[in-house]
Each structure stands twice: as C-alpha cells, then as structure tokens.
Chain A
C-alpha cells in the first residue's frame, strides 16, 4: 500500500470518527433528560468518550496530512481539495483548543459538524496529487495558506458559539415582533446550512449514479477587422440540467425521471457555459435543501430553531458569548499574519507587488475589516450578547465567501485553485 493510499484511508477513517464523535456529543447533551440518570454525570461521561473519539479522528486526520505531504513531496494545501481537507483539520484543532480551555461539551455538537461539512465539501473536488506549478513553488505556500486557514478555523468556532448563543437566548415561544424577527433570522441561518448539506447530497447522489449531460456552445468573436475567431466551449453537467447554458446546444443528454431536455436557458448576462452549470448546481442545492428542510420540519413539527432550543437548556449564555469572542480573539492575530501579512510577503516575492487589489486579496481585507469592526464594536461600544453573536455568525459567512465564493463567482489570480 502506497503512502497516498494510506493517506486517503485514514482520511476516510477521520471522517467516520468525527461523525461518531458528533453523535456521541449529541447523546451527551440530549441524554441528560433520559430517565434514571444524573444529568451532570451523564454529560461528563459521554462527553469524555465523545472528545476521545474526536481526538482520535483528529490524529487520523493529521496522519492523512503528513502521509500525503510525504507521498506527494509538497505540502498538501495546493488545490481546493487539499485546502478544504486542511481547513477541516484546523477547525478540529481550533475546536480542541477552545474545548481544552472551556470544557463545554455542547461545543462539540456544533463545531464538529462544521468540520464534517467542510470535509464532505473537499470530496467534491478532484483528489489526485498534482505537481506544483512554478508560482506555487515557494515556502510561503506552507506559511500563508496554513496560517490563514488556522485563523479562519477559529472564526468557524466563533461562528458555532455565536449560533449556539442565539439558539440558547432567542425566545422561540414569544410572539413579540422583535422575537419573531430573531426567530426568522435563526431559522434562515439554519436553512442555509441545510442548503449546503443539500448541495453536498445532490453532488454525491448524482456522482454515485454516474450522471452526465454535455452541452456545447460556439463563440464567435471578432478580433480585428475581417478576422473571425470561433471557439467551441464544452461543458459537462454532473447534475440533470434544469437550466442550460445560454445559447448552447445539447451534445449528449442523459434523461432523468423522464426529463428529456433542459427546462429553461440561463439568462444572457450569465457569461460562459460554466455560469450556466453553476446556476444549475445552485438550483439543485436549493431543491434538495428545501426537501431536506421539509422532511426535518415534518419530523420535528416545529421550526428548527425551536426544536434545537431545548437542547441548549441550562447552558450558561455568558460562557457561550465569551467562547465566541475568545475564539475570534485568538483567530484574529493568526488570520492577520497568515491571510494579510504573509500574503503580502509572498505577493511581493512572486509578483513584485505586495498588494494588487486581486479579488481574493480584497476579500481577505474585507474579512479583516469585518472582524476589526466586530472587535471595536464589542470592546469600545459594548456590543455583547446577541449583537455580537450575530456578527460572529455573519463573519463566518464573509470568510466562506472569501474562500469559496470568490473562486466560484469572481475569478482572479487565485483561480488556479481548481474549483467546481
């Protein structure tokens, strides 16, 4: 068995161990109310088991990282798959650090799934080891990417704690206008997470079924007078095309549930065949997200926020507020160092300018400005509790847009990371 095979095996092991740890953490919290047991002792005992399992998972994850590094000859953070696997690892590291400080079992219920989702997202991308192109052959690849991901992982834990704070404190039974608004916002946040799970579900379901439909589009451009240039773009859909690329033709079509042709065409402003494909993916994610949400609602028979709220019973809200803040306060300097300072140093060495307003650079700056505003609001304007929690939740959205959205929606110098 080669190093790389071993590497992918322990990665899968880590995935299942995290999933197991998540369930154990949930049992540790939910099982408090089971009859015939002392709630405190129950949580402590199951929490210990859960944390042990998640730590073994983290060890497997680290083993994946080390062996992939050894097997490929370069640090495995060079494409989207490797970056996401690394990010999920650092989320677990950040969770472990914060858990070691605060010993709050409930944190496992919310932080571990973030890592699981990021891991699953990694699997969307091609997994083979790619040799490094010249621009990535630098020691700064190791420093810049890893530090930035570490800082972002602490923001992820801050997000988890912020969301927990909201689930704990929002009055889900109240019909007051203010509370209704909070309920809806929490519900929307949870729904968004479910849409991401829906996205992952549809990717893997259609991939498992081997679905493929191909579109072609001919592009005619006039470069100079009298010179016509025609290029053919081809795009392969891995999900049934509800929406076809703008002005394209079907090359091959695999029917799905009696669907024999795309339902409609992408609008003209969606440039390129890939825009159509991405739009299609968004639609499928929404459909499966809605389905999933509907099923959960049917089972729970109440809004998700209201259903989760009792789980948070007895958790000190002050601690949750502090955990969210502390995670961000730990992550902020690391993020500054990795995502801005070392990014500037590397840009200076590779491109001759430390700052070029590349979209990825700008979004790293936006993330930094956002958390700067968060810290100023909290430390100097006394924004604590609910407002602070919402900012922690929103901040992670900014982080995810910087990491994923920029590559999907806006291209730029960082687009070589290979996105789907």
Chain B
C-alpha cells in the first residue's frame, strides 16, 4: 500500500496549502500529495492521510523510540509474541498452581526430561518471568504511543474538514458514483438534504458541493479501547505495590475468634456447614455412585479491634463490624477486606482440656485446671502445687538435631512442658511433659520422657478424668482473606474497553462528499467498516431523489474492509 512517506520534500498542495512532511492527502482539499503521475488507485484513507509525529524528518533518539512504539507492525508483533508466550505457559501446570511442591524436582519427576527442560527454561513460571512482564509493559507503551501518534492528527483532520474537496479525492474513494444531473446543481443538492438527515447524517453544503457525515464518534472507539487497556494494565501493575494487596489462606476452627494477621480484624467461624445432594436430587444414573456437594458455608462474624490490640498482656477489645454466611460464590466483604470460602476440614480440632493433677502413689486428686491450646495461661495453682508453663508445642515433633519443635501452628499433636513446684518436690521444681491426646501419649512415650525428667520416684501425673473435660472444635473452615485496593481500577479499565469496543464495532463513521458541476455529479463515500451497508444506504438515499443506482456499481474496487 502507500504507507511509506514519499521522498519528495515538497508538500505544498496545488490548492496553496502547506502540509507537514508525511502527509498523504492534502489537509485542505484532499488531493493526493507527492504523486508524480495520475493514478486511479484507491486512496489511503487511514487517519485521513494526515502526517503523524512518527513521520518527522531527522528523528532524534526519543523520536526513534517513539517511532518504534508507534508502529502498528511492532504492536502486532508484540501481540503475537505475547500470544505465543502464553501458549508456552500452558504446556505444563504452572508452579503457582501448587501450594507446596519443590519445583526443582517436581517437573522432572512428573514429566521426565521435557519437564526438566521446561523448568530449566523458566516456563514453569512463565507469567511472572521478566520477558513476559516486559512484553506486557511494551504492549502498554505501544498502546499509549500508537494512540497518541494517531489520535491527535486524526482529531485535527476531522474537526477541520473542508466541504469542497479535490475531484480526485472523490473519484479515488472506494465508493464512487459519477452521473449526469440535468437540474440546477444547488436545487438538486437541496433536495438531497432531507433524505440524508433522515438517515442521521449531519450535512454541510457549499454551493454545489456537499459533505454528509455521521457517527464520527465511532472513530474514537479504538482509542477508547486503548485508554481502557492502559488503565487496566496500570491497575494490574499497581497490585504489586505493597499495601495494596493482601492474600492469605487461614484456618478458622468452628466456634473460635481468630485473629487475621497484619490487620486489626478478627473473624469468628460461628458454624461451618457442608451439605450434599440427596439421592432424590441426583439423576438416576448417579444414585449410589457419586456424591455431589451442594453447599459449603461458613457463618462468619468479623470483628475489629478497638483497643488493647498490641498489648499481649491484655485481652483485645473487639466490636462486631460485619456478619455473613460465606459461600463459594458469596464472600464476606467489609471495607475492601474480603473473606472467601476456600476449603474445609471436618476433623475435630482440640480446643481445650481440663486435666486433673493426681498423686499416682495414693490416688489423691489435687483438682483440675483449664488448659487452652491456643492461648494458655502461664501458670496454674492446683491444690498445693504451682504449675508453670515452660514450653508449648501445638504440633509436636523432633527436628533433625532431636530437639522438640512445633511442626505447624495447628493443634494436631499438642504438647506442654510444665515446671511443677510444691510439697515433696525438689526446691527447683520438677519438669513434666504433658500430651493431652491419648495417641500422642503413646507415640511420643510421655511416661518415659517424664521418668527421665523427674526420676523414677516421681509421683505426680496429669490426666483427663472424662470426656466432658475435653473441648473440640467440630470442624475447621479455611478462608482466603484478601485485600485488593486496585480492583476498582481494574473494573474501570475493563468497562472503558467495553465502551470503546461497542463504539468502534457497532457504529461506523460514514462520510459522503459530492460535487455537482457542469451537469455532472461526482460522489465519493468513505466508511471505516461495513461497506456493504454503506453502499446500500447510499442507494436508498439516492432512490429518494428518484435516482436508481445498482449497489454493486458504487463499488470502486478494494472496498472490502
């Protein structure tokens, strides 16, 4: 096509208008610039043939960068590269799909040599990789520069259109009609006004010349889309800034108020419920074979800490701020904080026990005390004895050096180390290891540990007398707690993109120029899409002034887009 700026520096048109370098069609009369020979080819009507910034002579460094990103060709390359990169990322599951794997071995084990190569080349985290993010940033740059490079000249061109154009400008459009008119030019043109206006055209007349135009706003559609995409991309990038984004998966045992780390919020899981479809609700083929879940619901109450939030010696003061039955498609929302149903666990979780201190020698009981798993008190007075809590392990285990550690913050295998002081004990006290769960007592050999700590003649034991002294949380709900302050901008960007798409694709900018002189009508028409509909419209307008034209005869070739 004619995308290249002509070498001829003389950009002065025969109508006397001085055009900037890079102009394809004279800004004033529309005559093609820089063509040495008369041609009958269709005119290049993109951006109305005006010069763009990227067509400057003697470009500097900034101009060169500008020129690079202003090229649609480059934009298309970027789109295609992003497309191919995205494809690569779907060959094997991304690392982010898994909660805890060792990626360096996982891909090799799972997918063999191909997996190893995939991992080594970094495709297991394609979408976070420097090259993929760079592609997105470059698309962003291209969106900004491409749009600016074109929208400003186009705006100028469309706001200062002349009614009377050079005849060649008309005859080289993709829709052309040349016919004989016997009437007076001005009378004939006036007759045309009514049907044009009826079709929604805004019409300007200059003697025997006419310019009819409609739906110019559709020309801004692509630029609106690009603005929306830029806002969208910026919002996505902003999510990476600290403080704008929080994402944590937390366990909420039923009946407990749990603190949400890094916030002043506490959330109570009042009741977790899981329901399954009954046999009657299932299709016959599934009965007795499949179990389908119907509902996962965490009835939650959100509290905000109002005072004593940081002081560990004081109970934080909480006030209820929100309550919601959280379901899969219905998160709890409060001031940008959202809690989503993520997972659940129906294994009961130990919440507290009330062990009894007994003398194993004579069976005497000194009384019981309340031992909570999460926030136990530091010391207890039981009869004449004082028990001081030295260590707490919620999920007891031994590390590689054989030292006791807690493997997780969840009370799977709680263990407590007490220092007991009182009658008949050494003055420094005696240490005692206590496993509330019966299985753990056996597995970790509580008795022999204590024998080592307190000697063979120790006589104190902690034990739970009956089940009413044990308190369990029936189930645990796992919620995904999120804050995403950039979301409104993500939606704003998406909304603007949609607006631009509708403007650009469901309306077309249509222009009709015509000149009547010496008994001859010359009509040229241009639209940015849907030439078929445009030709049909012109035929129906001309019918109203009793002029029969065949739709196809308007087609001046190449009129496809």
Beta-carbon contact of B498 and A341 below 8 Å: yes
A254 at the interface (CB under 8 A from B): no
Determine the chain A residues whose CB is within 8 A of the CB of B338 once the complex forms: 352
Whether, in the assembled complex, B155 has its beta carbon less than 8 Å from a beta carbon of chain A, the answer is no
Bound CA span A354–B127, Å: 15
A379 and B86 within 8 A (CB): no
3 nearest A-B residue pairs (beta carbon): A333-B501, A128-B283, A138-B329
**A330-358 interface (Cβ within 8 A of B):** 330, 332-333, 336-337, 340-341, 344-345, 348-357
CB <8 Å contact, B76 and A381: yes
A410 in the interface (beta carbon within 8 A) = yes
Q: Of A134, A269, A349, which is within 8 A of B295 by CB?
A: A134
Whole-angstrom distance from the CB of B492 to the nearest CB of chain A? 12
B-chain residues with CB within 8 Å of residue A352 when the two chains form the complex = 247, 331, 338, 340, 342, 480, 482
For B502, the closest partner residue in chain A by CB is: A333
| A357 adjacent to B283 (CB under 8 Å) | no
Chain A residues whose C-beta falls within 8 Å of the C-beta of B292 in the assembled complex: 130-131, 133
Residues of B within 8 A of A138 (CB): 329
Selected A-B contacts with CB under 8 Å, 20 pairs: A101-B532, A129-B283, A130-B283, A131-B277, A133-B292, A134-B296, A268-B112, A319-B532, A322-B560, A325-B560, A350-B329, A350-B340, A353-B247, A362-B89, A366-B83, A366-B87, A369-B80, A372-B79, A379-B529, A384-B558
Mask: chain B, 82-125; 1 = CB below 8 Å from A; 0 = not: 11001101100110110000000000001110100000000000
Cβ-defined partner of B328 (8 Å) among A340, A341, A350: A350
Q: Which of B284, B491, B494, B561 contacts A128 (CB 8 A)?
A: B284
> A378 touching B561 by the CB < 8 A rule?
yes
Given contacts A269-B112, A322-B560, A373-B76, contact A135 B329 (CB under 8 A): yes
Enumerate chain A residues within 8 angstroms of B80, measured Cβ to Cβ: 369, 373
Within 8 A of B (CB), among A350-407: 350-357, 359, 362-363, 365-366, 369-370, 372-373, 376-382, 384-385, 406
Residue of A nearest to B73 (CB): A381
With contact pairs A376-B72, A376-B75 given, residues A337 and B498 touching in the complex (Cβ less than 8 Å): yes
Q: A322-B530, A325-B560 are known; give 13 further A-B pairs, CB within 8 A.
A: A101-B533, A130-B292, A133-B293, A134-B327, A135-B328, A269-B112, A318-B559, A349-B331, A359-B93, A362-B87, A369-B86, A373-B80, A406-B90
Could you tell me the distance between the alpha carbons of A379 and B112 in the complex, rounded to whole angstroms? 45
Question: Are A357 and B94 neighbours in the complex by a CB distance under 8 Å?
Answer: yes
> Nearest residue in A to B88 (C-beta to C-beta)?
A362
**B7 an interface residue at 8 Å Cβ cutoff?**
no
- CB atoms of B529 and A351 under 8 A apart: no
> In the complex, which residues of chain A have a beta carbon less than 8 angstroms from the beta carbon of B501?
332-333, 336-337
B48: interface (CB < 8 Å): no
Across the interface, do B72 and A380 meet the contact criterion of CB distance under 8 Å? yes
Instruction: Please report the C-alpha to C-alpha distance between residue A379 and residue B76 in the assembled complex, in whole angstroms.
Output: 12
B4 within 8 A of A: no
What bracket does the count of chain B residues touching chain A fall in? Answer: 35 or more
The CA-CA distance from A356 to B95 in the complex, in Å, is 12
Q: Which residue of B lies closest to A370 (CB)?
A: B83
Nearest Cβ on chain A to B229's Cβ, whole angstroms: 10
Contact, CB under 8 Å: B46 / A380: yes
Report Cα–Cα, A326/B97, bound state, in Å.
39
Which residues 232-291 of A have a CB within 8 angstroms of B?
A: 268-269, 271
Give the complex CA separation of A207 and B542 in angstroms: 61
- Which of A325, A355, A373, A382 lies in contact with B79, CB distance below 8 A? A373
- Residues of B contacting A351 with CB < 8 Å? 340, 480
Is there contact, CB below 8 Å, between B79 and A369?
Answer: yes
Bound CA–CA A248/B555 (angstroms): 66
A126: Cβ under 8 A from any B Cβ: yes
A329 within 8 A of B: yes
Q: In the assembled complex, which residues on chain B have CB atoms less than 8 Å from the CB atom of A188?
A: none
Contact residues in A for B533 (Cβ distance below 8 Å): 101
Report A-chain residues with C-beta under 8 Å of the C-beta of B281.
131
State whether the Cβ of A102 lies closer than 8 Å to any Cβ in chain B. yes
What CA separation (Å) do A316 and B88 show in the bound complex? 40
Provide the bound-state CA to CA distance between A385 and B558, in Å: 10
Asked whether any CB of chain A lies closer than 8 Å to the CB of B442, the reply is: no
A218 at the interface (CB under 8 A from B): no
| Residue in A131, A370, A410 whose CB lies within 8 Å of B294 | A131
**With an 8 A cutoff between CB atoms, is A321 at the interface?**
yes
Residue in B94, B112, B555 whose Cβ sees the most chain A Cβ within 10 Å = B94
With contacts A137-B328, A330-B505, A357-B96 taken as known, whether A269 is within 8 angstroms of B111 at the C-beta atoms is yes
Check B285 for interface membership: any CB of A closer than 8 A.
yes
Residue of chain A at shortest CB distance from B555: A318
Other-chain contact of A376, B79, B111, B529 (Cβ < 8 Å): B79
Name the B residues within 8 Å of A330 (CB-CB).
Answer: 505-506
| Inter-chain contact B90/A359, CB cutoff 8 Å | yes
Query: Contacts A351-B340, A366-B83 given: A326-B283 contact, CB under 8 Å?
Result: no
Q: Which residues of B contact A337 (CB under 8 A)?
A: 498, 501
CB of A322 within 8 A of CB of B283, answer: no
Which residues on the A side are within 8 Å of B293 (C-beta)?
133-134
- Asked, given contacts A336-B501, A363-B90, A385-B560, whether A126 binds B76 with beta carbons under 8 Å apart, the answer is no
Name the CB-closest residue of B to A325: B561
Is B531 in the interface zone, CB < 8 Å from A? yes
| Bound-complex Cα distance A70 to B83 (A) | 40
Determine the chain A residues whose CB is within 8 A of the CB of B302 once the complex forms: none
Best-buried of B329, B529, B533 by chain A (most CB within 10 Å): B329
Complex Cα distance, B294 from A376, in Å, reads 46
Contacts of B505 in A (CB 8 A): 329-330, 332-333
Is B57 close to A, CB under 8 A? no
Contacts of B552 in A (CB 8 A): 316
| Chain A residues, CB < 8 A from B506 | 330, 333
Chain B residue, CB-CB nearest to A130? B283
Please state if A137 and B487 are interface contacts (CB–CB under 8 Å).
Answer: no
**Alpha-carbon separation in the docked complex, A384 to B559 (Å):** 10
Say whether B1 faces chain A, with CB atoms less than 8 Å apart. Answer: yes
Task: Indicate if the CB atoms of A366 and B86 lie closer than 8 Å.
Answer: yes
A379 contact set on B, CB distance < 8 A = 528-529, 561
Q: Nearest chain-A residue to B114 (Cβ)?
A: A269
Which residues on A sit within 8 Å (CB–CB) of B283? Answer: 128-130
Determine which of B295, B330, B498, B529 lies in contact with A329 in the assembled complex, contact meaning CB atoms within 8 Å: B529
Within 8 A of A (CB), among B483-521: 487, 490-491, 494, 497-498, 501-502, 505-506
Q: Is the CB of B1 within 8 A of A382?
A: yes
For B501, give the chain A residue with the smallest CB separation. Answer: A333
B282 is an interface residue with CB less than 8 A from chain A: yes
A contact residues around B341 at 8 Å (CB): 134
Asked if A362 and B76 make an inter-chain contact with CB atoms under 8 angstroms apart, the answer reads no
A236 to B552, CA, bound (A): 59
Nearest chain-B residue to A381 (Cβ)?
Answer: B72
B279 to chain A, nearest CB (A): 11
| Cβ–Cβ < 8 Å partners of B37 in chain A | none
Given contacts A330-B505, A376-B72, whether A410 and B90 have CB atoms under 8 Å apart is yes
Per the bound structure, the CA–CA distance linking A43 and B180 in Å amounts to 35
A-contact 0/1 string along B403-440, CB 8 Å cutoff:
00000000000000000000000000000000000000
Cβ-neighbour of B560 out of A129, A268, A355, A384 (below 8 A): A384
Chain B residues numbered 336-376 whose CB sits less than 8 Å from any CB in chain A: 338, 340-342
Q: Is B130 an interface residue (CB 8 A)?
A: no
* Assembled-state Cα–Cα distance A129/B281 (Å): 10
Q: 1/0 per position for B270-294, CB-CB distance to A under 8 A? A: 0000000100011111100000111
Interface membership of chain A positions 103-132, coded 1 if the CB is closer than 8 angstroms to chain B and 0 otherwise: 000000000000000000000001011110
C-alpha spacing A325/B331, complex, angstroms: 42
Query: What is the CA–CA distance of A80 and B531 in the complex, to the nearest angstrom?
Result: 39
Q: From A323, which residue of chain B is reached at the shortest CB distance?
A: B532
A370 to B281, CA, bound (A): 42
Nearest CB of B to A336, in Å = 6
CA distance in complex: A377, B236 (Å): 27
Do B487 and A348 have beta carbons less than 8 Å apart? yes
Chain B's nearest CB lies how many Å from the CB of A276?
A: 17
- Write out the residue numbers on chain A whose beta carbons fall within 8 Å of the beta carbon of B87: 362, 366
Nearest A residue to B480 by beta-carbon distance?
Answer: A352
